[in-house]
Structure 1
Amino acid sequence: MRKLRAVVIGGGTGGLAAAAALHHRGWDVTVLERAASLEPVGAGIALAANAQRALDAFGAGDAVRALAVPLDGGLRRPGGRRLSRTDNAAAARRFGGPVVVAHRADVIALLASCLPKGAVRTGVRGELTDPGGPDRPARVTTPGKVLEADLVVGADGIHSAVRATLFPGHPAPRYTGFTTWRFVVPATALPRGAATAHETWGPGRLWGTVPLRDGRVYAYAQATAPARAQAPGGELAQLRRLFGDWHHPVPRLLAAADPAAVLRNDVHSAADPLPAYHHGRVALLGDAAHSMTPNLGQGACQAVEDAVVLAHLVTEAAAGPGGDPLSALPRYTAERLPRTTAIVRRSARVGRLACLSSRPGRALRDAALAAADRLAPHLALRGLDGVADWHPPVHPYAAQTGTRTKEAQ
């Protein structure tokens, strides 16, 4: 039997997860990444229980779980007053696993390790030149070579060229009015245990602190700002102006940050859902299909879900009557578009709530959060009902205990 061939455009979390899931199902996979290496530009990445179960489909879930650290913390005001508590054990009970926050470089390296040598080609720009159809393969042009494939996966991010080729008249993701900053400080910046996980909501801005397993600390911030605004004195100086008088350990983290390591990104969201996540033999996933705000921590999680569902459906179709994975792509759209569209909208609502600017609005919000925390602990977890409790279509998958059947091993 001829081995099916897939070309993945984009070597981020979603693209590598798709390649790993397809390779695990017997496909010949090539990943084209235009950057010179897979060494990612990034800081922390959150993977909730739904993403971990998806990763189990190709044997990577337990390695992610091993990166977990206790993340009990809570939501605070800038002065330090606690509004609500978070409990990772409660999240694990409710959703089947805790949220794992890891450095993006570690996750990228893990996904790349699931692929055979030579599958990832860095420094290579791939251009979709023919989406293919029932009577012909899809074609991707690279410098000096045209690749033909039974399936092309567009995983090239928010400003996806693949999406623009498939749906040239569709509106691009819109700027949300929020800018984010991210950085990681070394383990020596704070005494071990001095930084606990928390998120702090202030007027028109928020701050988050998350300890990583190796002792480093991941920090992120969000604020309302004009698109592409230039920060006088640099991004770290801007963060110190916005957050320098907030509660411990925020000032100390800002003092320890390397100005060159602070990443700033304007947040774009897919306000107008695509008509489909496929066309011809091409499927879109992750930010290329449904970019979202980071406020639910589901951007990478949904990309991994996409990857595993896509690999499962196209492999099933290839094994069925006709033997063509093309027939599975409408079902991929049908399964993924409604779910991800709802999560995009839910995440945007949380972002707007977190960055309220008006004093009366903030007072009402904070009072409601504090009351809910007193009367119904862990109420905030309900915000991930229907999201973090998702299970992949591929069975078996690892249970919370990490047990596996022979097939999953």
Structure 2
Amino acid sequence: MATSFSSRLLHLLRPSPFSASLRPTRIRPERRIFTSFAGPSENPRKEEIVVVGAGIAGLATALALHRVGVRSVVLEQGDSLRTGGTSLTLSKNGWRALDVLGVGDELRSKFLQIQRLVIRSEDGRELRSFSFKEEAPGQELRGVERRVLLETLASRLPPNTISFSSRLKSIERQGSEGTLLELDDGRRVLAEIVIACDGVHSPVAKWMGFSEPNYVGHCVFLGLGLYPDGQLFKPEVNYFYGRGMRAGFAPVSSTKVYWFITFNSPSPGPRTSDPYVLKKEALDLVRSWPQELPDVVQRTPEDGVVKTSLADRWLWPGFSPPSWANGVVVIGDAWHPMTPNLGQGACLALEDAVVLVSKLRGVIGGRRELIDQVLREYSKERWARVFPLTIRANLVGSLSQWENPVFCSFRNNIMIPKLVRLGRLVEHTNFECESLEPAGSA
């Protein structure tokens, strides 16, 4: 059964294991945007800003810095962009951040805008449907392939921005000189500012005192169904609710349909690398559900099915470390990993990047005291946004994963049909990022 709220509060005060089984697909960007440092030497290479990690948060941060006229170096442990995963959901706030970064329209042209949300039970009975235009005017919801998002962000970076095969080995403060980063191959970089965007299991976050994220009691299968001759689905999200399991699908483009299956599990379980086994496990969960769902799963290439366990980190005031320390700051999943129940993980990472750079642009190259003051302000401002959303996403997931038949009946017959309001469900997406202009510009 999904983790109860009371037990969750106690569980979050101690770290617990979390495992993910993403199998990254490595695709090199089309144009050369990587750099290489010299080999090991006595004197480290000096950089004003180093971004650790070339995921969504890292590339967005580097692009935001570029747009305000500031050079950065991105250290990526992989030998190319790690474009694993399938699709992610971007709501209005995510698209506003992408507009500020200058890539919104390019991405919009590739992905369908979702018009409706339809909620059904596992037997196909419609419980409720919502029109975004009527009940949440101004909302913009699209499924976006993670690969395309990363490649688009990377393509806007200047040459010599990303250093691939640059795995972080250690990090050490060097007083007023900055932060020393040592890589696995012996190279060393001395950075004035370090922005850690190195994901859920961030080594930098661990160095700063953060515990591992906590497993929340359920896992998810993800994939993209392929329709070479064109898919015929309406531009809507279809959710299905069962006992201890939910699933859904939505068209991403004219030829691809994103799907997910979330199920309760007392532990993340062993990591499975056999693609045939993964796809069979996913299909077995929904074979008796409405036929369009297993059909979408069946159309997914075996090596395109992903299984991962869900985890989050609650940033308790007084218990969690600050997100910054002496010129080092963690953002995105490295700071606030959250469950995907609100579709806000990528959106908040994009927000983080834009907000951080908008605050830093006026003090980069200035005194350490000013930089730390800005990082402190950033941490306080963003904490007030990400902490409540992390809790809300967790609770939505717990309610959605009910197993008790009485609770499920209440959810399907009363809560969803009579109590849920779409406007309130998406009110957290009403966030506007300020534009990015070089410091001192009009």
Please tell me whether residue 180 in structure 1 is matched to residue 224 in structure 2: no
Q: Which residue of 1 aligns with 2:260?
A: 220
Contact 1:127 1:162 in 2 (8 A): no
**TM-score, with normalisation over the residues of structure 1?**
0.87
Matches within 5 A, 1:249-328: 249-273=292-316, 274-318=320-364, 324-328=370-374
Contact in 2 for aligned 1:244/1:254 (Cα 8 Å): no
1:222 & 1:303 partners in 2: Cα distance?
23
Deviation digits for residues 35-70 of structure 1 (CA, Å, limit 9, x no counterpart): 221141110011111111122222122223333414
What's the CA shift for 1:320? 7.4
User: Which range moved further: 24-33 or 338-347?
Assistant: 24-33
Match of 1:151 among 178, 193, 207: 193
Shift of residue 357, structure 1, vs aligned partner: 0.5
Contact 2:119 2:129 in 1 (8 A): yes
Instruction: Note closer, same or farther for the CA distance 1:26–1:70 as it changes in structure 2 (3 Å cut).
Output: closer
Distance 1:131 1:55 in 2: 33
Match of 2:19 in 1: none
Q: Deviations over 1:121-159 (max 9, x none)?
A: 2222124522455x2212222223211222111111111
What corresponds to 1:401 in structure 2?
Answer: none
How far off is 1:335 after superposition?
0.7
Aligned to 2:122: 78
In the aligned structure 2, how far is the partner of 1:369 from the partner of 1:166?
A: 42
Call closer, same or farther: CA 1:229–1:305 in 2, change over 3 Å: same
Q: Offset at 1:201?
A: 1.3
The reply to whether residue 59 of structure 1 matches residue 99 of structure 2 is no
Which residue in the other structure is 1:40 paired with? Answer: 83
- AA paired with 1:211? P
In the other structure, the counterpart of 1:390 is 431
Distance 1:183 1:124 in 2: 29
Query: Is 1:67–1:101's contact at 8 Å kept on the other side of the alignment?
Result: no
Aligned residues: 386
Query: Which residue pairs with 1:237 in the alignment?
Result: 280
- Deviation of residue 106 (structure 1)? 0.7
| Alpha-carbon offset, residue 5 of structure 1 | 2.3
Please point out which of 376, 389, 393 is paired with 1:347: 393
Q: Is the 8 A contact 2:113 2:141 kept in 1?
A: no
Q: Pick from 97, 104, 108 the counterpart of residue 150 of structure 2.
A: 108
1:197 maps to which residue?
A: 237
Q: Aligned partners of 1:38, 1:140: CA distance in 2, in Å?
A: 21
1:201-244, Cα deviation, whole Å (9 max, x unpaired): 11111111011124211111111113232479722222122111
- Please give the secondary structure, in 1, of the residue aligned with 2:260: strand
Distance 2:227 2:173 in 1: 47
- Separation in structure 2 between the aligned mates of residue 29 and residue 354 of structure 1, nearest angstrom: 42
**Which runs of structure 2 are paired with 1:123-162 in the superposition (5 Å)?**
123-131=165-173, 135-142=176-183, 143-162=185-204
SS of equivalent to 2:72: strand
Deviations 1:272-318 (A, max 9, x none): 54331111111111111011000000001111111111111111233
What code does the residue aligned with 2:189 have?
A: L
- Are the equivalent residues in 2 in contact too, given 1:91–1:98 (CA < 8 A)? no
Report the equivalent of 1:329. 375
Rounded to whole Å, the distance in 1 between the matches of 2:234 and 2:292 is: 8
1:380 matched residue in structure 2: 422
For 1:10, which of 43, 49, 53 is the aligned residue?
53
Please state how far the C-alpha of 1:197 moved relative to its aligned partner: 2.4
The answer (yes or no) to whether the contact 1:57–1:394 under 8 Å persists in 2 is yes
Moved more, 230-239 or 256-265: 230-239
> In the TM superposition, what is the alpha-carbon distance from 1:91 to its structure 2 partner?
6.5
Shift of 1:260: 2.1
5+ unaligned residues in a row in structure 2: which ranges?
A: 1-45
> Could you tell me which residue of structure 1 aligns to residue 208 of structure 2?
166
After superposition, what is the alpha-carbon deviation per residue over 1:74-122, rounded to whole angstroms, capped at 9, x for unaligned? 11111111122132324762xx341121111110011111211221122
Q: Which amino acid aligns with 2:405?
A: R
SS in 2 for 1:235: helix
Provide the rounded CA distance (Å) in 2 between the counterparts of 1:163 and 1:216. 36
For residues 163-208 of structure 1, give each alpha carbon's deviation from its aligned partner in whole angstroms, at most 9, with x where no partner exists.
01111xx432100011011111212387433785211111111111
Structure 2 counterpart SS, 1:316: coil
1:188/1:245 Cα in 2 relative to 1: closer, same or farther (>3 Å)? farther
SS at match of 2:51: strand
Pairwise CA RMSD: 2.6
**Contact 2:229-2:255 within 8 A present in 1 as well:** no
1:328-383 deviation digits (Å, cap 9, x = unpaired):
1100111111210110000001101111111010111112244327xx8xx12312
* Letter matched to residue 196 of structure 2: G
**C-alpha separation in 2, matches of 1:111 and 1:91:** 32
The DSSP-based 3-state class of the residue aligned with 2:417 is helix
Mapped to 1, the partners of 2:139 and 2:436 lie a distance apart of: 17
Distance 2:269 2:261 in 1: 16
